Amino acid sequence: MKIADRPIADRRCFAPRRSVFVVVLLVAAGNVIVGQPPEALPIKIGFIAPLSGPNAQNGRDILNGFLLYLQEIGSGVDGRRIDVIIEDDEAIPAVGLTKTRKLVERDKVHLMAGALLSSTGYALAPYIDAMRIPMLYPVVSADDLTQRRRSKWIVRTGYSGSQPNHAFGEYAYHTLGLKKVATIALDYAFGWESVGGFQRTFEAEGGLVAQKIWCPVFVHDFAPYLAQIPRDVDAVYALFLGRSALQFMRQYQEFGLKQRVRLIGAGTTTDEHVLPFMGDEALGVVTALHYTAALDTPANRKFVAAYRARYNRVPSYYSESMYTGAKWLVTAVEVVHGNVEDSATLVDALRHVKLTDAPRGPLELDDYGNPIENVYMRRVERVNGQLQNTVIETIPRVSQFWKYNPADYLKQPLYARR
Amino acid sequence: MKAVPFVAVILVMLIAGPPFLASYWVGLLTQMLIFALLAMSLDVLLGYTGLPSLGHAGFFGVAAYAVAVLSTTYHAGFWTCVMSGILIGTLLSTLLGLLVSHVRDVYFLMITLASGMVLWGLSYRWIPVTGGDNGISGIPRLDAHAGLPFAGPVAFYYVTLLVFVVSASLLALLVSSPFGFTLRGIRENELRMKSLGFNTWLHCWVSYIIAGAFASVSGVVWAYYNGFVSPTYLDLTASSELFLMVTLGGPGTLVGPVIGAGAIVLLKNVISAYTQRWPLILGTFYIITMFGAPQGLWNLGRRRRASS
């Protein structure tokens, strides 16, 4: 802070040019001398998520869920207070890596949690492995993190991108009765893997993905992409999130497509982080995900009520991800009796947690470190004046490998753009 | 030559200090040195030749990607990676230099901006090779890859320092050579240099190649330091931040960009730990510097001393 304040308060600081570097080094030295006591009493958890930029809302939701759970447990675990150190990764992998270095090397956190984008997830993995710090990914859904590029120190409690879509492909063919589908999705790993998973099971059952349209992540106008949609398909599968989801829904209706071609999609397209800002254009859209705020179970009703009371908004799957993630962390810390300094034992405990009463339903990890959890088929409906993702079918205990044999599955290449 | 005692003091601190610092600060110093080298290479163009390039992070990124692709996909050896990184970056600047070195001012700015965007687009879209948005992680650690007997952040820091000192010395030789003075002549008055018989086009081209070569060197070091590359390292934001490092520190000097790079890396990392509003503080810092020291921090002190 010294450096930032000085030039503003005192312009003369610029004049002796040597002082800039001297201050730099003094600040550096000061921090080292003060340092941290080697055996700090609180359990320190480092948290990163995008808290600014286009993905700020998703990051904020993740953080809110985390803080809500910590507030519920109150004092801490095994007599040790929990300190959370929060950093903003701006949804840029490079920044995420820099901030993680800071949390691990400067703040000396015992545990890490967070990250939103797959790219950030991949960027952190080698560093996390090298530093041997257990890290929990509540959201990052890159398939290969628990498939072909597994990490010993990273525990994923969210889902793999293709996981709900494997179930959805089969459901779309048999229950929704769709035979021919076009897809339109954001052009990055999450889009490719979700669409790839859907296409695999949908076509295995006999359906056909007639066309795959990819939109750049920073797309502003969907007109050129909507014009490419063939008119003879039974449905359009859409994958968007945040601003792009709102824009897509509106333009899909304005183009007169909503009346003509049925809309289905990935869970994020109608997730609660955007649903309250949508209108009638979202009604009837069927999507698949491992969570919906409208899930009618005691655990979820309690979570939604607490979340609404504290933040005055409906929780999204991002909010639930780190609420459950925090519960997961705390359960593991209890198993090791608060001895978080022994990171090898801790990561082992993290791998063997089983939750039965999470808001989304029961979850546990498979042998590859990905959750086995329910996948919900949801339809957007208006209930009491508000849009919600009503559960129309529950597919229990879905694994990232769907019904395939893991060894055979892993011989296939990762879902890519083509 | 007035800079000599200052440089000597800093150098002694840079050599003696790190063993006493925590690993986080050693890492930060390493980053500063890498970006200082990159900023110096841009300054050859921007400060000495007067060519404002807005695509300079492209060479840095291409070299880093070359190391990443060769070391992960092809499991190439250490020297193959290093030499290919530098060679590919330099070759690219040779080719692009042919395109850009016959235009000046805002046209130069636009063409370098466009070429930088093309390189970014390539890294983002050439997915089979670059992994697209996900980038490439898993670049081997320097000590493991090069077979060094020592490991850890301090060892890496000293390797970086060595590369930095050697490169900075070469650049210092370059800018004080007759060639360097010709570049300054072109910056001040190209028409006059032409009428004196200098081939100004050739000089601009060569300075573009040299700038690209040193940017590639820093890109190679960065790839090993970071263990990860992604398109964000060569996008417009990266290039313009680099531009700011040079203008903030003092274009037309070699010490200036080092100060600029050091200040920005430090501000970004330190302030952001205290407040989420750090871009606001950084922005204010830029504006105040531009008002108070339009020629950069280093030139401010120099001018004042010269006038007194």
pLDDT tens string B22-67: 888 898 999 999 999 999 999 999 989 999 999 999 999 999 999 9
Residues of B in contact with A106 (CB under 8 A): 22, 24, 273
B96: tokens are 């692009």
Question: pTM of this prediction?
Answer: 0.81
Q: Which residues pair with A365 in a beta bridge?
A: A371
| B117 has a chain A CB within 8 A of its CB | no
Residue listed under structure tokens 């070299």: B63
Q: Counting runs of H as helices and runs of E as strands, what totals does chain B give?
A: 15, 2
CA-only gyration radius of chain B, Å: 19
Q: Which of B32, B13, B262 is nearest to A29 (CA)?
A: B13
pLDDT tens string A228-240: 999 899 999 999 9
Cα–Cα–Cα angle for A63, A141, A221, rounded to 5 degrees: 85
Distance (Å, whole) CA A19 – CA A10: 13
Q: Report pLDDT for B223.
A: 94
A23: tokens are 């201050």
Q: How far is B67 from chain A (nearest CA, A)?
A: 16
CB contact under 8 A, B133 and A21: no
CB contact under 8 A, A119 and B267: no
Type and span of the H or E element at B229: strand B228-229
What are the domain boundaries of chain A? 2-34, 44-158+297-369, 163-289+374-411
pLDDT tens string B228-281: 898 888 888 889 889 989 998 888 889 999 999 999 998 888 887 777 777 788
Residues of B in contact with A418 (CB under 8 A): none
Distance (Å, whole) CA B118 – CA B270: 32
Question: Which among A25, A98, A126 has the least Cβ separation from residue B138?
Answer: A126
Burial class of residue B147 in the structure, from the number of CB atoms within 10 Å of its CB (0-12 exposed, 13-18 middle, 19+ buried): exposed
Count of beta carbons in the 10 Å neighbourhood of residue A96: 28
Averaged pLDDT score across all residues of chain B: 89
Coil, helix or strand for A306? Answer: helix
pLDDT tens string B119-141: 999 998 888 888 887 788 888 88
Beta strand B228-229 with A235-239: parallel, antiparallel or unpaired?
A: unpaired
Q: Which residues contact A253 (CB under 8 A, 6 or more apart)?
A: A281
Distance (Å, whole) CA B104 – CA B52: 9
Beta strand A111-114 with A235-239: parallel, antiparallel or unpaired?
A: unpaired
pLDDT tens string A90-116: 888 888 998 999 999 989 999 999 999
DSSP tag of B233 = G
Residues of B in contact with A94 (CB under 8 A): 226, 228, 230, 232-233
Distance (Å, whole) CA B275 – CA B269: 11
Question: Which among B22, B226, B297 has the least Cβ separation from residue A97?
Answer: B226
Q: Report pLDDT for B5.
A: 82
Q: Which of A312, A253, A313, A310 is nearest to A281 (CA)?
A: A253
Q: Which residues pair with A154 in a beta bridge?
A: A135
How crowded is the C-beta side of A320, counted as CA atoms within 13 Å?
Answer: 28
Distance (Å, whole) CA A5 – CA A27: 13
How crowded is the C-beta side of A28, counted as CA atoms within 13 Å?
Answer: 27
Whether the per-residue pLDDT at B144 is higher than 60: the answer is yes
Type and span of the H or E element at A235: strand A235-239
B91: tokens are 């070759």
| B236 has a chain A CB within 8 A of its CB | no
CB contact under 8 A, B132 and A188: yes
Type and span of the H or E element at B219: helix B200-226
Coil, helix or strand for A186? Answer: strand
CB contact under 8 A, B267 and A8: no
pLDDT tens string A316-325: 999 999 999 9
Lowest mean pLDDT among A125-134, B124-133, B177-186: B124-133
Per-residue pLDDT band for B306 (boundaries 50, 70, 90) equals: low
Distance (Å, whole) CA A219 – CA A225: 10
Are residues B89 and B270 in contact, defined by beta-carbon separation less than 8 angstroms?
A: no
Whether the per-residue pLDDT at B9 is higher than 90: the answer is no
Q: Which residues pair with A77 in a beta bridge?
A: A80
Give domain A163-289+374-411's CATH architecture: 3-Layer(aba) Sandwich (3.40)
Q: Report pLDDT for B148.
A: 83
Distance (Å, whole) CA B2 – CA A75: 60
Distance (Å, whole) CA A272 – CA A387: 9
CATH number of this structure's domain A44-158+297-369: 3.40.50.2300
pLDDT tens string A31-81: 444 444 444 479 999 999 998 888 888 999 999 999 999 999 886 787 888
Coil, helix or strand for A237? Answer: strand
pLDDT tens string A52-64: 888 888 999 999 9
Per-residue pLDDT band for B1 (boundaries 50, 70, 90) equals: low
Percent of chain B with pLDDT strictly greater than 90: 49
Q: Which residues pair with A239 in a beta bridge?
A: A185
DSSP tag of A85 = E
CB contact under 8 A, B22 and A189: no
